[in-house]
Amino acid sequence: MLYYLFEYFDKQLDIPGTGVFQYITFRSGLAVILSLLISTVFGKKIINFLRRQQIGETVRELGLEGQKQKAGTPTMGGLIIIMATLIPVILLAKLDNIYVMLLIVTTLWMGTIGFIDDYIKIFKKDKEGLKGKFKVVGQVGLGLIVGYVLYFHPGVTVRKETSKPVVYEVVDGERTAVKQEPIEEKSTATTIPFFKNNEFDYAELLSWAGDNYKSFAWLIFIPVVIFIITAVSNGANLTDGIDGLAAGTSAIAVLTLGIFAFVSGNIIFSDYLNIMYIPNSGEMTVYISAFVGSLVGFLWYNTYPASVFMGDTGSLTIGGVIAVLAIAVRKELLIPILCGIFLAENLSVVLQVSYFKYTKKKYGEGRRIFLMSPLHHHYQKKGYHESKIVARFWIVAIMLAIFSLVSLKLR
């Protein structure tokens, strides 16, 4: 909203200084500041409201030190993250940008699924919350929307050659150089990290289907989008188990994706780094800045001992946003590295359950690989304090983020 207002001031009224709102960097900086203020100042009011409404966490008996004391701590704190993200975005971003619209839809969609889950747990006294199949239906629904829009919307294009090519024409018998604008095209290409020729087109998987195979690329692309959104949102959900873990590791991953979005949406940087130029994707930096600010502001109340938990309202939203960001900047194949914490938490649960069922069937009694899953509970069982586990997971997340960024040049 403010972007359009100041654009009018600049172009129609020619008021000095108002043109600064045209710069993504300026609006991103404002978005961080505003989201931090909203999440820290109004976060306290939301926590007090949740406490008055007795919207508290029901903690399962896990046999972990300090777990009982968490019972009754306000949950649904993801509302703080959502509010502190969307208000700056609505004020400062270009709301007609297709990527920004997708991220707003993702935030509201996944936030609603998480809210319903938390509501059932708290007010219906059902510890299981929303049934898993309904969560998956919601995640698949979002995947269908995101996949369809990214594949079919005319505003989603890439430019693989960022410098202007030179062609030659014969004019009056003389060979004359003519500069042409690079062509922006629809593409299902993505980036393979750490490879020199690092572009892979999902459509190539259908090359056996004949000359028209590219027109059927959506049959591959949309299921891939659905899988990524489902996997990452579940990974974020599993990571939200101890104070500050999900919010901190997510902020690191989102900030990294913000760098990818900025350079991919800037023709100069994308040319220098020899990466795909994705027109209009730089606008996502404003959303990302607001999202990072909201996560950091939420940590003000979520670090040990937590005054509020984000609940599924926050964790599912975080996972959905990270997945959509990675897909939009064509860096989804980096997710196993960038979101390595989510991956480890997911795998620990899958391995634990699978091994338990296998040994129970073979030996008559279930055996475990970890003392407890997800992985962070394994370290709690080993006697590590929550704060130490969280700090070390953050350090690992920072190392993975740096490793991901190195992929821009190391090929």
Q: What is the pLDDT of residue 315?
A: 94
Greater confidence (181 vs 372) lies with 372
Q: Look at 13-17, 134-138, 227-231, 326-330 and tell me which has the smallest mean pLDDT.
A: 13-17
Query: What pLDDT is attached to residue 159?
Result: 83
SS3 170: strand
Residue 199 phi, psi (nearest 5): -105, 135
- Look at residue 164 in the predicted model and tell me its pLDDT: 53
Cα separation, 75 vs 301, whole angstroms: 12
Helix (H) / strand (E) containing 269: helix 267-273
173: pLDDT strictly greater than 60: no
H or E element at residue 381: helix 375-381
User: What are the residue boundaries of the structural domains of the chain, listed by start?
Assistant: 2-406
Q: What are the Cα distances from residue 286, in Å, to 87, 291, 330?
A: 12, 9, 18
* Nearest Cα residue to 286 out of 102, 103, 93: 93
- DSSP E strands in 255-306: the ranges are none
Higher-pLDDT residue of 3 and 67 is 3
User: How high does pLDDT run on average in the chain?
Assistant: 88
What is the pLDDT, as a whole number, of residue 124? Answer: 82
Above 80 in pLDDT, residue 79?
Answer: yes
Helices 132-152 and 218-239 pack at an angle, to 10 degrees, of 140
Q: Is the pLDDT of residue 62 over 70?
A: no
Mean per-residue pLDDT for 27-48?
A: 94
Model-level pTM? 0.91
Q: Is 31 helix (H, G, I), strand (E, B) or coil?
A: helix
Q: What is the mean pLDDT of residues 172-184?
A: 59
Residue 411 above 90 pLDDT? no
| 331-358 confidence digits (pLDDT tens) | 999 999 999 999 999 999 999 999 999 9
How high is the pLDDT of residue 199?
85
Looking at residue 59, its pLDDT comes to 58
Give CA–CA dist 109/138, Å, rounded: 8
Average pLDDT of span 374-394: 93
Share of the chain above pLDDT 70, in %: 91
The structure tokens 């939009």 sit at 328
The 10 Å Cβ neighbour count of residue 21 is 19
pLDDT for residue 378: 93
Which of the four pLDDT bands, split at 50, 70 and 90, describes residue 166? low
What tokens does 14 get? 């020619």
Quick: pLDDT tens for 228-251. Answer: 999 999 999 999 889 999 999 999
Question: Do the beta carbons of residue 74 and residue 309 sit within 8 Å?
Answer: yes
Section 309-328 average pLDDT? 95
